Structure formats: C-alpha cells, structure tokens
Chains A and B, each alone.
Chain A
Amino acid sequence: MEIGISHYLILSGILFSIGFVGVLRRKNLLMLFFATEIMLNAVNIAFASIGNYYGDLSGQMFAFFIIAVAASEVAVGLGLLIILYKKYGSLDLDVISTMKG
C-alpha cells in the first residue's frame, strides 16, 4: 500500500482532534500546553505533506516558521507556568479561576 497525501491528512486530522479534545477537556495548564503543541504539529504535518504533494516549498517553510514560533511560545509559556505554580501551588484551572466577571 502506497502512503499518499490522504494518509498524512488523516493523521493530521486525528492529531488535531486529539489536541482539540485535550484543550476542551484537560484541567491542568501544562496538559493544555501539550494539547496545543499537538494541534500545532498536526497542522505542521498537513503543511509539509501538502507542500510535498504540490511540489511547492512554501508549505514546508511555513512548518519551519510554526516550529520556531511554537518553540519561543513554549519558552515564554513555561516561564509563566512556573510563576503561576509558585503563586497558587497548583496548575489546576479550577483553582486559578480569577477571571470571574
């Protein structure tokens, strides 16, 4: 069986859905981060495979950009998480519910 574009896209879709459900269901901030990372990488796979399929390098270039941005975002986000943890002693969203209007 030849592995074609559709397989990549299905993989990407499955990964994105896993990430999406993670964002909706998880309560731990760290886990939320992981879930968003999964979603980003699902998109990366889709970009890279579609770029390859069309013989166009822009898709893969975009994937690189996303990886770079995600890395810096994780660096900042983890820093913030550490501060939050120091402040509340937990990363559970139900504990950090300070945004009630």
Chain B
Amino acid sequence: MENLVYIALFAPFVGSLFAGLFFARSPKTHLVGVVNSSLIGIAFIAAVTLALHVAEHGAVHVTMMSWISAGDLSIPFGFLVDEVSVTMMLVVTLVSTIVHIYSTGYMNHDKAYNRFFAYLSAFVFSMMILVMSDNFAGLFIGWEGVGVCSWLLIGFWYHKEDKTFEENPSISPSWAANEAFIMNRVADLGMLVGIFLIYWNVGSLQYDVVFNALPHLADGLLVSIAIALFIGAMGKSAQFPLHTWLTDAMEGPTPVSALIHAATMVTAGVFLVIRANPLYSLEAVHGVSMFIASLGAFVAFYAASMALSARDIKRIVALSTLSQLGYMFAAAGLGAYWIALFHLAAHAFFKALLFLGAGNVMHAMDDELDIFKMGGMKKVMMGSYVYMGIASFALAGLPIMAGFYSKDAIIETAFNDGSFIIWAILVITAGMTAFYSFRQVFFTFHGEERYKALGFHPHDMYKYVLVAMAPLAILAISFGWFMDNFHEFITKNLPDYEMSHETHHLAPYLGGLVIVLALTGIFIAWKKYAGKGANAWKRDEEFEQSFIYKLVANQYYVPRFYDEFIVQPYTMASKKFWEIDKAVVDGFVDLIGKMSYKSGDVSRGMQTGSLSAYLNWMGVGALLLIVAAAITALIG
C-alpha cells in the first residue's frame, strides 16, 4: 500500500518535471499532453485502489523520511491516507485527469502548451501534498504550493496588456494573479499564526498528537487557534472579505478555472475545517463555528446575488462557486462535516463540468465571454449544451442530481440545528442559484442567435474532449445516489451528524420547498431569456441604470473600495517610502563611495614623483606614529 501512496503523490510531480525540464523551451509537443494526462490517470488509479483498501482495512499512515529535525522540533514527511484524505484524493485526481485531457484539446493552439502542463501537474502534486500530509507543516507546504501554481496559472497569459477597471474588472492576467497571490498571503499569515500557536502549546504538528492534546488546552487559546486557522481557510476558499480574487482569477485559462478555482484548490479551506473537526466541534469554539456557518450562509447569498446580473460567462460560474463554498462552510460550521465533504465532492464534479462546458463555449466564440453576444447555440454545440444543462440541473439541486442530495442535506442541517436565519438564507439562495445558472444556459444556448450578427462561427469542441468529459457528467447525475454508502464510509473518521427525529419528518416538505423555489427560478429564467422572435430577450436599459442593478453589477463596489482605500494609499505610501529610501539608505551608501573617491582625489596630489617629497611624507607619518605611540603610552 505504501507504494501506492507514493505513486499517487509523485506521479503528478514526475509529469511536471517531465514537461518542465525537458520541454519547457521546445515548441508544442503532443507527447507532453499525453504523458502528463496518463501520469495523472495513474495517480487516479492508485487513489481508487487506496480508497478500496481504506474502506476495508482502515487508514494507511506512512512516514517517508524525516524532514525537519532540529532540537525538540521534529517534523517528518508523513502521509496519512484515511477516509477524508482519500475522498479528496479521488476528487482531485479524477477532476485533474479529465482537465488534463480537456487541456490537450483546449490549449491545442497555445504557444506555451508544454509550460501549461508543467504548471498544471505541479498544481496536482501540491494539492496531493496538501490533502495527504499527516501534519500541519506539510499541509502548509501544499497550501503554499497550490498558491504558487494558482499564481502561475492565473497569470499564464501574462503578456496581455493592463486594461482600465471599466473595460475589464480584472484588469489583466498578471494583475489578477498578483491579486490572488497577495490576498492569499494575507490570509496565510493568519494560518501561520495558528500553526505556531499549535506548535507552541502542543509541541507537535502531527494531526493525531494535536487533536489528542486539544481538550487540555485553555479555552481562549483554542478560540485563537480556531480563528487563526479559519482566516487561512477564508483566504484560500475566497470567503468574504477576501473573496474578490476568485472572480478575477477567471483571467486564467478555463481548464485552470475548472480545476483550481472551482473543483479543488478553493475547497482547501473547507478541507482544512473538516480536517480540524476535533478542534471546531469543541464546545469552547462553538462561537467560531457559528461564525463560520453564518459567514458561509452570507457568502452563499452575497455571491449568488452578484451572479444574477453578471454578463461574463466565467464570472457567473466563479460566483456560483463562491456561493457553493458558502454552503460548504455553512455545513461545516454547523458540525455536519461529512455533509460538507459530500457537497465538496459533488460540487467538484458538476462545477468542473460546468466550467469545462463554459470553456467549450468560449473556445467556440473566439474567447468571447459576454453572454449577451451569444444565444441559440444549442444547434451548433449540442454536446456542450447537454453537459452544461446537466451541470446546471445538478447545481440548481433538482431531484436525482448530485446537487439535490448534498445541498438538501445542508439546508436540512441548518433547519435541524435551529438556525432558521441561516436556513432561510440558504433556501432563498437555492432559488437564486437555479435562476442564475439557467439564465446563463438560456442566454448561451437558447433564444435568438445574436452571435450571427457579430460574425462568429461557433463549432463544438473536439469529439474526444467531449467524451473525456462524460465521467464528470455521469457523476454530476449519479453521485448523490451513493450518499448512504459515502455516509457509512466517511463516518468512520468524521463525526456523524444525525438529523433529530423532531424535524426529520419535515424533511420532505423542506426539500419540496427548495425544489419549488428552484423550479420557479428556472421558469423565470426560461420566460425571460429563452424566448425567440417577439418573446426574445431585450436589454432593459432603464433597469440597468437603477441603483440595485448597479450595486450588484459592480460587485457591491467592494473591489472599488479595496482599490480606493487599500491599494491606492498603499501605493502612495510605497512611493513615499521609496523616496525616503532613496534619500536615506541610498544616500548613505553613496556617501561612503563618494568619500573614498574624494579622498583618493585629494591624496593623489602627494604622488609628485619627487623622492624627497616622499621622504617628507614618510617623516610626517613616522612622527605621527611616534606621537600616537606616546599618547597611548601616557593614557595606558
């Protein structure tokens, strides 16, 4: 089993090195795409085998070697494959495999094809370290690794020019990459503080040691650790107020958005909370957990409201990701860790599918993102239409789809917990989710064929790419059917969350309410956007001028606020400090140089060439030495 762990972990790494070391400078090589995809596939197979093993025999714990060993500090390179991490491994490797295959088609015309695969595989490797590590230090390394890869991949088209905020809210890929990275660094500081606090008070970073020691720690300390770790999670999972980077991250290539900014990396924050469940389910940190749940519910609603008016096809999907992450945090905060993990997995499948479908549309429309310019494309892009339809049904939470089971469980959890405000927000958000996801589908695939007037000639993606996306579609439909099996499997490790009997009999009505709201949302979207001819959608200029619309379309002016009150003052301060730096530090260094220059210039005059002058100088020097000796003798 140990070898399988290493295969799952290092196959992506080998792929990354293969592409990065041997093909970085060579022109597009199909071999790279094939080799890297198959290496990730191998990692997936290893993960499946490990999952079967774990289901039967329990967790696998291996220690590869000791990593940091200094004094009392000893951090091994250890890997823990238990129910939680193996679930994450399955999700990560499966989605990565499909995204790799998809990328061979999507990036086919890109000059930097090989570089792309080097980064993408490196990301998978970092993500595997993140989920498999058996200690917080390894988790942090993976955490930073995925951050770097995300930066590299968002800024993949770094040569694009900066635009104004009005033209493009994310300005340019390199700007968006920096924003994502910097915002994550801010949050990572919180996480580091949490890790230091743990080490300081427990003396170890191993999960099992730390979690066993938790009950002996003081309440205030536990709360601080919980808050600090959650700040890290907020950054990576783009929770308010650190959320603006996620929508801007859509500047990266679409496979990247699908893999990193929807299915895997952004769920790392949820994973952290799930992993640290012994901490977050303690009575002492109940307040923090409630905060997590409330923030999750708020973000779910907040992001969904922004998605209602977004025009950029990728931004809509990104905002729905944000909204679904809110659902996961709501579940995790309420103590239903296994439901959060279940929704995480289900979401990874249907959201990756949705993103890849959106990528197909973009590809067909020559990288046009504005859904107002699309419409009626189902004739030319049947495959993508079906996939996006399935994914949207799953996202909207309609029966038999994966999202139905997982989202319903979260909503029921909120009701069962007695947090009716959270429950109400989540229910309303579910209706909004259905509306905006179908708004996007109808805008793109139904209604008038607006693209024709603009001179686009869309065509669907390569056949093999569409076939490769099929597993995601199958899972988006059927993953929910295995909820009971998953429950049985995962609760060996995670605490169970049982619905109480008083509310459980209400569950069908609650589920019914959600379905009704979702169907209403879809119906409104159908009425408004899917019509043709006389019923066709027309722009409502008047509504677009209203305050509410502007507020939502400008993302509640939060990016503006950050720009105005953080970025610009910071830039100004930096410029001032630069000037001070130039005057003081540079000035001082220059002074030293100038002094020796000047003294050389002056003493050059002594070099007359006359031996008697030299002798005179020598005499003066000797006299000075004698005087100095006499003075020291007198003092000493």
Binding site for B on A (CB under 8 A): 20, 23-24, 26-27, 32, 93-94, 96-101
B619 and A24 contact, CB distance less than 8 A? yes
Q: List 22 A-B contacts (CB under 8 A).
A: A20-B619, A23-B615, A23-B619, A24-B616, A24-B619, A27-B612, A93-B612, A94-B610, A96-B611, A97-B608, A97-B610, A97-B611, A98-B609, A99-B609, A99-B610, A99-B611, A100-B607, A100-B608, A100-B609, A100-B610, A101-B607, A101-B609
In the complex, A40 Cα to B608 Cα: how many Å? 28
B619 and A97 contact, CB distance less than 8 A? no
A93 and B610 contact, CB distance less than 8 A? yes
Number of B positions contacting A (CB below 8 A): 10
Closest Cβ of chain B to A89, distance in Å, is 17
Interface string of B229-251 (1 = CB under 8 A from A): 00000000000000000000000
Interface string of B599-621 (1 = CB under 8 A from A): 00000000111111011100100
In the complex, A26 Cα to B615 Cα: how many Å? 10
Closest Cβ of chain A to B625, distance in Å, is 13
Chain B residue with Cβ nearest A98: B609
B616 and A93 contact, CB distance less than 8 A? no
Chain A residue with Cβ nearest B622: A20
Closest Cβ of chain B to A43, distance in Å, is 13
Q: Using Cβ atoms and an 8 Å threshold, which residues of chain A touch B614?
A: 99
Closest Cβ of chain A to B141, distance in Å, is 60
In the complex, A51 Cα to B612 Cα: how many Å? 34
Chain A residue with Cβ nearest B607: A101
In the complex, A24 Cα to B616 Cα: how many Å? 5
Q: Using Cβ atoms and an 8 Å threshold, which residues of chain B touch A99?
A: 609-611, 614
Q: Using Cβ atoms and an 8 Å threshold, which residues of chain B touch A26?
A: 612
In the complex, A26 Cα to B612 Cα: how many Å? 8
Closest Cβ of chain A to B601, distance in Å, is 14
Binding site for A on B (CB under 8 A): 607-612, 614-616, 619
In the complex, A24 Cα to B614 Cα: how many Å? 9
Chain B residue with Cβ nearest A27: B612
A94 and B609 contact, CB distance less than 8 A? no
Closest Cβ of chain B to A23, distance in Å, is 6
Q: Using Cβ atoms and an 8 Å threshold, which residues of chain A touch B615?
A: 23-24, 32
Chain A residue with Cβ nearest B619: A24
In the complex, A100 Cα to B607 Cα: how many Å? 6
In the complex, A99 Cα to B619 Cα: how many Å? 18
Q: Using Cβ atoms and an 8 Å threshold, which residues of chain A touch B609?
A: 97-101
Q: Using Cβ atoms and an 8 Å threshold, which residues of chain B touch A23?
A: 615, 619
In the complex, A10 Cα to B485 Cα: how many Å? 112
In the complex, A96 Cα to B610 Cα: how many Å? 8
Q: Which 4 A-B pairs have the closest CB atoms?
A: A100-B609, A101-B607, A93-B612, A97-B609
Q: Using Cβ atoms and an 8 Å threshold, which residues of chain B touch A93?
A: 610-612
Q: Using Cβ atoms and an 8 Å threshold, which residues of chain B touch A27?
A: 612
In the complex, A21 Cα to B611 Cα: how many Å? 15
Q: Using Cβ atoms and an 8 Å threshold, which residues of chain B touch A94?
A: 610, 612
Chain B residue with Cβ nearest A28: B612
In the complex, A20 Cα to B626 Cα: how many Å? 13
Q: Using Cβ atoms and an 8 Å threshold, which residues of chain B touch A32?
A: 615
In the complex, A27 Cα to B615 Cα: how many Å? 11
In the complex, A60 Cα to B48 Cα: how many Å? 99
Q: Using Cβ atoms and an 8 Å threshold, which residues of chain B touch A97?
A: 608-611
Q: Using Cβ atoms and an 8 Å threshold, which residues of chain B touch A20?
A: 619
Closest Cβ of chain A to B629, distance in Å, is 15
Chain A residue with Cβ nearest B620: A24
Closest Cβ of chain B to A42, distance in Å, is 14
Chain B residue with Cβ nearest A32: B615
Closest Cβ of chain B to A83, distance in Å, is 16
Closest Cβ of chain B to A94, distance in Å, is 6
Most buried by B among A20, A24, A27, A98: A24
In the complex, A78 Cα to B256 Cα: how many Å? 90
Closest Cβ of chain A to B101, distance in Å, is 75
Most buried by A among B608, B611, B616: B611
Closest Cβ of chain B to A1, distance in Å, is 29
Q: Using Cβ atoms and an 8 Å threshold, which residues of chain A touch B611?
A: 93, 96-97, 99
In the complex, A24 Cα to B612 Cα: how many Å? 7
In the complex, A100 Cα to B614 Cα: how many Å? 11
In the complex, A98 Cα to B611 Cα: how many Å? 9
Given A97-B609, A97-B610, A101-B609, 10 new contacts (CB under 8 A): A20-B619, A24-B615, A94-B610, A97-B611, A99-B609, A99-B610, A99-B611, A100-B609, A100-B610, A101-B607
In the complex, A97 Cα to B609 Cα: how many Å? 5
Chain A residue with Cβ nearest B617: A24
In the complex, A89 Cα to B615 Cα: how many Å? 22
In the complex, A42 Cα to B193 Cα: how many Å? 77
In the complex, A94 Cα to B608 Cα: how many Å? 11
Q: Using Cβ atoms and an 8 Å threshold, which residues of chain A touch B610?
A: 93-94, 97, 99-100
